[in-house]
Structure 1
Amino acid sequence: MTAETTRRVLIVDDERDVRDALAQTIELADLVPTRAGSFIEAKDHIDPTFDGVIVTDIRMPGRDGFYLLDHVCSVDPDLPVILLTGEGDIPMAVKAMSEGAYGFLEKPCGAKELLAVVEKALKARALVVENRRLKRELDRGDAATRMLFGVSEASEALRARVRAVARASAEVLITGERGTGSPKIAEVIHLMSGAASRPFVKRPAAQLTHADLAQAFGEAEGGTLYLDEVTALAPAVQFALLETLEQGTTVRVVSGTSSDIADAVEAGQFSTDLFYRLDLMRVHVPALRERPEDIPVLFRHYVAQACEQANLPEPAITPDTIASLMGQDWPGNARGLMNAAMRFALMGGVGLGEEAIAVGRAEGLGLAEQMAQVERSLLIDALQRAQGRSGQAAEALKLPRKTFYDKLARHGLKPDAYRTDQT
């Protein structure tokens, strides 16, 4: 199920003429209406698999719209309910929104106004339904499905390629821009190979010595050795690696590079013989800008991951948030998106400006280190905005004073350094 196919609207009103008028408006917008004249008729359509939204009148005989809202929230709190209110019902409708309603419209409402709210609610529901579908697939899928997220054709092709490569025993070269996730691709290849129970060892190629290489082969005995940014290998280490591979080893070597390795060969910076030996099988990871439909899925995953790591509740991700994300080029690719998601999570659902995309692009950092980096940037930003006033900065970040000062100490930050009123 995708956002383009989620087009159902359940209309609940005890007046037939009103139901029919609303249904006609819905149909003219290429949506699919379902009519119900009461709670009893409506409840049979309401379950977690319902992929549309509900538009209901508040005042109905017997069990009214508020009763219906309570029932929907108990069945699926992510199912959008739009309330139709009379003039005297507006205060109640506003209260109902705090209790789970998606929105409300004052009667009589125009077609344009109705459809604007319905379309927004449908997009929100589509994202929820799609996220649940992906989670079900992940729960029952293989390592490629569980670890390589994305709904685009490019992502499907990538997973298929990884599965095919994993079944072989030859060396693999992974290409792609920085931030596209070559280390994770290498890990998935290992987990789907016949050597999955053996060690998976990662080493950055830059500054790797002959002794380091020998030690890495020893640690990866019978398993997989991943060399990140392999074009950075020193010439002597390139020779040692080629010699080891030609002599025979139980270790499968998977290499990654974000630069054009063919150019390095042509420039004499990388061994031609080693290139051909490492490039027996190739996996190319597409840039995020080439598969924008993957952005919502990846962002939701990263936000959930960051919130779990920081023990925070997950903030709401609105259609407007997704639209903002998809309007970016993401030069940092998935890593840049992950950094923005961590900032968004730590700031409670805000912080998606250009600075959020640029924060924390240091190479080789794990999730905890990157989250620490983002946290430090947030503390600095708060101190700068508050001109070094600790109380104001702590309040802006919604942190208790003690917690705020503990974090400042952890990151080596001193509020006085950000005061502008010092003489």
Structure 2
Amino acid sequence: MIERVLLVDDDASVREALGQTLELAELRPTLAGSFIEAKDHIVPGFEGVVISDIRMPGKDGFALLEHARKVDPDLPVILLTGEGDIPMAVRGISAGAFDFLEKPCAPKDLLAVVEKAIKTRALVLENRRLRQQLQAGDAASRMLFGDSPQAEDLRARVRAAAAANAEVLVTGEHGAGTSKVAEVIHLLSDRAMRPFRKHAAASLGPAALKEAFTAAESGSLFLDEIAALPADSQFTLLELLDEPEAPRLIAGTYKSLAEEVAAGRFNPDLFYRLDLLRVRIPALRERPEDIPVLFRHYVAIACEQAALPLPEIPQELLSRLMAQDWPGNARALMNAAMRFAMGLGDEETEADMGLAERMAKVERSFLVEALRREAGNATGAARALKLPRKTFYDKLAKHGIRPEDYR
């Protein structure tokens, strides 16, 4: 379980009173009476916030602040000051303290500052996690985000397709990201150091198709919306695929090629050639638990590109996003994230759902978020949601959620 608040004060009565306030707010405080005691908790991996009195025997709150900033420069440290210590508190802010509170401290004032610090800490940790994901692992881990079973399955299928030296058919709805999946397949393949070229299939006549093959050399060629490839180009493509040193073809489509064949609009021989390896991208509505991760990622990218400060993302906004159907999939979610990052609001894009369906999706989002925060610990998640254990498990069964998927 994540340690959320470390409270340090040498006065036992003050320590116990403030600790009780934090306990009542379900903030799980850890209490310490000295620098030495507190130091053992402030180690790499500590994910909480620190509240420390300034005046303590031996090493004081300034020493603890200095230690905390050495361990993690972004760790929020809130300083407690006695009467007449305001200049010292200002000195603490200059040294990097998150905020200060004057003793005696009203519970509402304490909780307001602590909640703000916790939200700031959560945002920093989430951004670190995203950066680490971008920097570590293979291309599938870095570029295909999501913690849901569907996202894990997609990454596994992409890796399997990359390992096979054959044509690949990537299917998915509008905006699902077929181009990105194609690029990941290329980057994971043994052709990764060779060119990756992509073209809209509808614009490729036979001559242009031959030029595209030549430009891709022996790398990978992605043809988007392969169903729209002109009929004469379909025959040309079959011939080109048999040439020595031809690039690997990765085709994308949102249509059913089998239906296109039945309607006489797509070459059956080309269909069977492409249908050997198929990678389907699940729609966002099939994996709503991935929406917060993706939305935060897109917001971070938008803020970085526009040199904007990273805003706090309200939980109620994430819950509302998870309750939507997203017919535009990742592309639509990315647009919503860009609008949010630029302060243009979050336009609602809900599909025509009934109240019961919307409420069910919102309920599912809260269950998933609680399990993710508690690393799959069902008891902790039930406690966080203030639900009896049996009721919590009944709801998990109703929504088909498995705690082990979030460990």
In structure 2, how many angstroms separate the alpha carbons of the residues matched to 1:105 and 1:272? 77
In structure 2, how many angstroms separate the alpha carbons of the residues matched to 1:250 and 1:103? 66
In structure 2, how many angstroms separate the alpha carbons of the residues matched to 1:343 and 1:259? 30
Q: State the AA in 2 paired with 1:101.
A: F
8 Å CA contact retained: 1:295, 1:326: no
In structure 2, how many angstroms separate the alpha carbons of the residues matched to 1:154 and 1:51? 28
In structure 2, how many angstroms separate the alpha carbons of the residues matched to 1:249 and 1:62? 74
Q: Which residue of the other structure, out of 274, 278, 281, is the alignment partner of 2:274?
A: 278
Q: State the AA in 1 paired with 2:227.
A: T
Aligned to 1:264: 260
8 Å CA contact retained: 1:182, 1:285: yes
Q: Which residue of the other structure, out of 10, 19, 42, is the alignment partner of 2:38?
A: 42
C-alpha displacement at 1:318, in angstroms? 1.7
Q: Which residue of the other structure, out of 324, 336, 345, is the alignment partner of 2:317?
A: 324
C-alpha displacement at 1:205, in angstroms? 1.0
Structure 1 spans left out of the alignment, 5+ residues = 359-423
Q: Tell whether 2:157 aligns with 1:166.
A: no
Distance 1:182 1:78, change over 3 A: same
| 1:185-226 Cα distance to aligned partner (Å, 9 max, x none) | 111111111222222111111221111111111122222110
Q: State the AA in 2 paired with 1:215.
A: E
The 3-state SS of whatever aligns with 1:206 is: helix
Distance 1:28 1:304, change over 3 A: closer
Aligned to 1:354: 347
Q: Which residue of the other structure, out of 97, 101, 105, is the alignment partner of 2:98?
A: 101
Distance 1:36 1:279, change over 3 A: same
| 1:335-376 Cα distance to aligned partner (Å, 9 max, x none) | 23333444444x3xx233218x89xxxxxxxxxxxxxxxxxx
Of residues 28-37 and 162-171 in structure 1, the stretch that sits farther from structure 2 once superposed is 28-37
Q: Which residue of the other structure, out of 212, 219, 224, is the alignment partner of 2:215?
A: 219
Of residues 57-66 and 7-16 in structure 1, the stretch that sits farther from structure 2 once superposed is 57-66
The 3-state SS of whatever aligns with 2:194 is: coil
The 3-state SS of whatever aligns with 2:202 is: coil
8 Å CA contact retained: 1:12, 1:57: yes
Q: State the AA in 1 paired with 2:311.
A: I
Aligned to 2:397: none
| 1:27-61 Cα distance to aligned partner (Å, 9 max, x none) | 56665432222344323432442111223345556
Aligned to 1:389: none
8 Å CA contact retained: 1:179, 1:334: yes
- Matching of residues 161-240 of structure 1 within 5 Å: 161-240=157-236
| 1:231-290 Cα distance to aligned partner (Å, 9 max, x none) | 111222222223433567632111111233343333333233322221111111122343
In structure 1, how many angstroms separate the alpha carbons of the residues matched to 2:176 and 2:90? 44
In structure 2, how many angstroms separate the alpha carbons of the residues matched to 1:105 and 1:294? 42
8 Å CA contact retained: 2:170, 2:280: yes
In structure 2, how many angstroms separate the alpha carbons of the residues matched to 1:245 and 1:109? 74
Q: State the AA in 2 paired with 1:288.
A: L
The 3-state SS of whatever aligns with 1:227 is: strand
The 3-state SS of whatever aligns with 1:46 is: coil
Structure 2 spans left out of the alignment, 5+ residues = 351-407
Of residues 327-336 and 276-285 in structure 1, the stretch that sits farther from structure 2 once superposed is 327-336
Of residues 51-60 and 254-263 in structure 1, the stretch that sits farther from structure 2 once superposed is 51-60
Using structure 2 for the length normalisation, give the TM-score. Answer: 0.71
Distance 1:354 1:52, change over 3 A: same
Q: State the AA in 1 paired with 2:332.
A: G
8 Å CA contact retained: 1:7, 1:122: no
Q: State the AA in 1 paired with 2:345.
A: L
Of residues 220-229 and 332-341 in structure 1, the stretch that sits farther from structure 2 once superposed is 332-341
8 Å CA contact retained: 1:69, 1:101: no
The 3-state SS of whatever aligns with 2:151 is: helix
In structure 1, how many angstroms separate the alpha carbons of the residues matched to 2:313 and 2:10? 31
In structure 2, how many angstroms separate the alpha carbons of the residues matched to 1:93 and 1:331? 52
Q: State the AA in 1 paired with 2:181.
A: I
8 Å CA contact retained: 2:79, 2:97: no
| 1:49-86 Cα distance to aligned partner (Å, 9 max, x none) | 21112233455567655664465445434323345566
The 3-state SS of whatever aligns with 1:154 is: helix
C-alpha displacement at 1:158, in angstroms? 1.4
Q: Tell whether 2:309 aligns with 1:315.
A: yes
Aligned to 2:290: 294
Aligned to 1:139: 135
Using structure 1 for the length normalisation, give the TM-score. Answer: 0.69
In structure 1, how many angstroms separate the alpha carbons of the residues matched to 2:97 and 2:335? 30
| 1:141-199 Cα distance to aligned partner (Å, 9 max, x none) | 11212222233332222111111110001211111122222111111111111222222
Q: Which residue of the other structure, out of 320, 334, 339, is the alignment partner of 1:338?
A: 334
| 1:92-138 Cα distance to aligned partner (Å, 9 max, x none) | 8799779652675874444x875676456445434433443443354
Distance 1:206 1:91, change over 3 A: farther
In structure 1, how many angstroms separate the alpha carbons of the residues matched to 2:91 and 2:283? 45
Report how many aligned residue pairs link the two structures. 346
Q: Which residue of the other structure, out of 20, 30, 41, is the alignment partner of 2:16?
A: 20
